Amino acid sequence: MNTSGLLVLLACVFMAAVSCSGMASPLYTTDTSASDSELPVVKRDDLLNEMSIYHGVPYRLGGTRITGVDCSGLVQAVYNSLGVDLPRTVAEQLGEGRQISERSVRTGDLVFFGKPPDHVGIAISNTEVVHASVTRGVVIDSIDDLDRAMDASGYRRVVRLK
């Protein structure tokens, strides 16, 4: 599937989630706090496109390339391709950007799972996350489903979207 097809797939998955979940808050808002002004800026469409490129890539422990990624390698690879330098490990990524509440999650935010955190994904919306599953590779899952399975443990905003 080409990049355009994957972007359409991401959009369809998001629209299905919106219609089924009755999502109260939008995928993306322009509301930002004063501290967001210090974060790097990326184009929302560029971020979604970059995430779509990795859809279906196999899991590879320590991987950071399109041939195989682990969860933090996926986050680092996606953001590095957009000019945002993030560290390599889950523990290091947990210290990036600024902490936000679960209710504030929106496209581009990092969502951490496990206690202590040992898994990370990138929010597509306030209900869906792209992450590297050990058994399924890079997939889109419900944040609530992952929370039930692995306990959501933190949320970080690392970029401003335009």
Closest CA to 159 of 89, 92, 93, 66: 93
Q: Element (H or E) spanning 92, and its range?
A: helix 90-93
Closest CA to 137 of 57, 73, 53: 57
Closest CA to 80 of 66, 100, 67: 66
Q: Element (H or E) spanning 128, and its range?
A: strand 128-133
Task: Report whether 79 contacts 158 (CB < 8 A).
Answer: yes
Given the residues 12, 20, 55, 131, the one annotated as active site:
131
Kindly report the number of other CB atoms within 10 A of residue 150's CB atom: 16
Helix pair 44-53, 71-81: axis angle to 10 deg: 130
Q: Is 55 among the residues known to form the active site?
A: no
Q: Is 12 among the residues known to form the active site?
A: no
Pairing mode, strands 160-161 and 41-42 = parallel
Q: Is 20 among the residues known to form the active site?
A: no
Given the residues 12, 20, 55, 71, the one annotated as active site:
71
Catalytic residues, by residue number, are: 71, 119, 131
